Amino acid sequence: MTYDRKTSTTCPFCGVGCQIDLNIRNGAIISAAATPGKAPNYGRLCVKGRFGTDYTHHQSRLTKPLIRKELDRGKRTTCGMEGFREATWDEALDLAAQRISRTVQESGGSAFGTFCCAKATNEDNYLFQKFVRAVLKTNNIDHCARLCHAASVAGLQKALGSAAMSNSIAEMKDLDLFIVTGSNTTETHPVISTYLKEAVVKNKARLIVIDPRKIEMADFALLHLQHKPGTDVAVYQAMAHVIVKNKLYDKDFIDRRTEGFEDYMTSLEAFTPQWAEEISGVPAGKIEEAAKLYAGAERAAFYWGMGISQSVHGTDNTLSIANLALMCGHLGKPGTGVNPLRGQNNVQGCSDSGGLPNIYPGYQSVSDEESAVKFEKAWKTSLNREPGLTTLEMSDAIGEGIISDFIIMGENPLMSEPDLNKARKHLSELKNMIVIDIFLNETGEYADVILPAAAFSEKEGTFTNSDRRVQLVRKALDPPGEARADWEIICELAGRVGDKLDRDYKESFSYDSASQIWDEMASLVPAFGGISHKRIEEEEGIHWPCPDSSHSGTPYLFSDTFPRGRGKFHRLDHTDLSERPDGDFPYILSTGRVLYHWHGGTMTRRSVLNDISPAPFAEIHPDDALRENLADNSRVIVSSRRGSIELDIRISDRSPEGVLFIPIHFAEAAVNELTRDIRDASAKIPDYKICAVKIERASSAD
């Protein structure tokens, strides 16, 4: 036998939430395999889950608390390990608590900006937001959902009143027709992509891909609408136009379940397929065909990713999809629905657990008096009614002198925020920065105190996957060195901040186990009322909402009603690109991911995955390469009005002419040096997918 024992747990990468067995030999993960027969992956894994968990054993794991050697010497600068000294937990926690309590006393809670973590467990995040709300008395808490599906959430909240994926992964086999848009599914959600491909190949489902890039899913599609980046609303409005004009909508569903259709219908007159062709470059005939296929399907579902949401009009993109689903009655039955595919293992759960500035756990509004009183009673303290700031607003608030302290659990804004020059400038102006993480990443390099955390394989808890399935995370190994589970660190910190402020938080931050933390959250969140660690163990995962112990969970949403009552149609307008290419910056830059890496790369760049994908690249169309006189693998500098990065090109016709594609994972050529911090008005999500850039041969290449 090549391993001594195995532990079944939940994969730490994307939002599919695959069940994996970690095979342990000599105190380390030697290999991983799919847990046989278990949902949602039923024996399947992708390269990241199967081979990528070795990052947990990387030599650069943080094993001891670190304190910046030169504290409070004016403007903070970045430093590597050499700028920190090791400390005991007592010293580091006391110092962190002292710095935090000083700010509480001097400036109050509004001086804090805090980020919780879509990679940490529900229990870690519940406790972190409890710390922020109950101890720091602020709602300034957010996480990277703001930078990924915020616009999907905003749009679906407006249209339906709930933003989670409406269907379970298991239903994919029942698809009759589905539209994949703004999602490079085979690379970002590989296991889900196998079900989608299977639906096409085995079950004769029809697939329409609506995406500017020729992604692998397009190979399986009946139709590929390759629209110009940023023209999504035009395409979807034109599809709605076709459906209305040909009376292909579901009148019965519209009457029973929706509102605002008459008004919406009259707004569609000008949005003809010919008009959309002018804007999007998609032939009018293809738009008509797609509309007729979607409306005529018995069961149809949308699946989308960052291409829809990471846009200055991301909310409108989402609404344009919701309009179509409502119009055709493709909601509330198995195999029909609207499905934002979640990018992180626990981005659903992090939001569910209250990691957002306007809500307590379970989406209960912080400004709603009844909810606030409920949480005040439970947490035995007073709470702030004012909704907090979002991720980028917190960054802005540093520049405005409002926020002086950042507390960051496991996030890496210096890779993930747009316009990194600006983001760095803001962080350098902080008075105090406390980081909880497993590695020293680009953000940690600005911290004063770094507290070493346990990785997913070293703690207990739960992750909630993309289809709202709460699943167990089990401890396979002890954390390295002195690292501790995030929730334990938060409890320690809360107690010590309390001591310094003469308040007692020890009792309300005292837990024996992650399961006890879950129970506290479940007692406060009606949708979790019937879920406990024990029950998840027995039933191998439960889809919320699950209000009581006799309820079996909810695999698909909206069967009888929408959370907001009737589904609401929204009038929309096409808005132009936020930054158009011009003579100086003639290309559109689009960002995205590759199969072998994950987000900011903190984990996968420290894994065997990096061996096969070791370097950044810019994907460029052959005609553009010819025009720029560039051969494959040429070294180039790509610049925008905000910054520039140096990397190699990869010539490919996956991206259309005039569009450069650069993945987001590589710190040495961080594409967010180039992106622009302009945000969707309601979702506050930045326009990652579009900015204007130029490309030049790097001088080092000559």
Q: Binders of another protein among 542-601, rule CB under 8 A?
A: 595
Residue 693: phi and psi, rounded to 5, are -135, 165
DSSP for 561-622, please give it. -BTTBSEE---------SS---SSS-EEEEEE--TT--TT-TTGGGSTHHHHS-S-EEEE-H
Rounded to the nearest whole angstrom, what is the least distance from the CB of residue 75 to another protein in the complex? Answer: 42
SS3 content of the chain, % helix, strand, coil (to 5): 35, 20, 45
User: C-beta of 474: minimal distance to another protein in Å?
Assistant: 20
Residue 3 sits in the site that holds another protein (CB under 8 A): yes
CB 337 within 8 A of CB 176: no
Q: Closest approach of Cβ 653 to another protein, in Å? A: 17
Nearest distance from C-beta of residue 185 to another protein, angstroms = 12
Residue 590 CB, shortest distance to another protein, in Å, is 22
Tokens of 1: 């036998």
Q: Which of residues 45 and 435 has its CB atom nearest to another protein in the complex?
A: 45
Q: How far is the CB of 45 from another protein (least distance, A)?
A: 6
Among 7, 42, 586, 652, binds another protein (CB under 8 A): 42
Distances (CA, A) of 612 to 431, 463, 606: 40, 28, 12
Q: Where does this chain touch another protein (CB under 8 A) — which range of 31-39, 113-121, 348-356, 416-424?
A: 31-39
* Contact range with another protein by CB under 8 A, out of 46-54, 248-256, 439-447, 578-586: 46-54
Contact stretch for another protein (CB under 8 A) within 195-203, 425-433, 441-449, 537-545:
195-203
Q: Does 220 bind another protein (CB under 8 A)?
A: yes
Q: Which stretch in 193-201, 244-252, 410-418, 665-673 sits in contact with another protein by CB under 8 A?
A: 193-201
User: Judged by CB under 8 A, which of 7, 25, 376, 532 binds another protein?
Assistant: 25
- Please list, residue by residue across 173-194, b when 16 or more beta carbons sit within 10 angstroms of its beta carbon and e when fewer do: ebbbbbbbbbbbbbbbbbbbbb
Any residues with CB less than 8 A from the CB of 387 and at least 6 apart, and which? 139, 357, 358, 365, 366, 367
Nearer to another protein, 54 or 124 (CB): 54
- Name the token pair of 65: 């608390």
Q: Does 204 bind another protein (CB under 8 A)?
A: no
SS3 assignment, position 15: coil
435: number of Cβ within 10 Å:
28
| Nearer to another protein (CB atom), residue 216 or residue 648 | 216
Tokens matching residue 463: 């992750």
Among 8, 51, 67, 488, the residue binding another protein under the rule CB under 8 A is: 51
Shortest spacing between CB 632 and another protein, in angstroms:
15
| Ranges within 459-478 binding another protein (CB under 8 A) | none
Q: Does 30 bind another protein (CB under 8 A)?
A: yes
Stretch that binds another protein, among 192-200, 240-248, 306-314, 448-456 (CB under 8 A): 192-200
User: Which secondary-structure segment (H or E) carries 692?
Assistant: strand 691-697
DSSP 331-365: SSSTT-EEEEPP-STTHHHHHHTT-BTTEETTTEE
What is the rounded CA–CA span in Å between residue 339 and residue 362? Answer: 19
In the complex, what is the shortest distance from the CB of residue 39 to another protein, in angstroms, rounded to a whole number?
13
Give dist(CA 522, CA 266) in Å, integer: 45
Residue from 7, 8, 44, 259 binding another protein (CB under 8 A): 44
Compute the half-sphere exposure of residue 686: CA atoms within 13 Å on the CB side of its CA.
24
| β partners of residue 409 | 436
Cβ 659 to another protein shortest distance, Å: 24
The site string for another protein over 600-639 (x = CB under 8 A, - otherwise) reads: --------xx-xx---------------------------
Bridge partners, residue 436, by sequence: 409, 451
Under rule CB under 8 A, residue 186 binds another protein: yes
Stretch that binds another protein, among 23-31, 237-245, 297-305, 547-555 (CB under 8 A): 23-31
Q: How many residues contact another protein, by CB under 8 A?
A: 30
Residues forming contacts to another protein in the complex (CB under 8 A) are 2-3, 23, 25, 30-31, 33-34, 42-47, 50-51, 54, 186, 190, 194, 197-198, 201-202, 220, 595, 608-609, 611-612
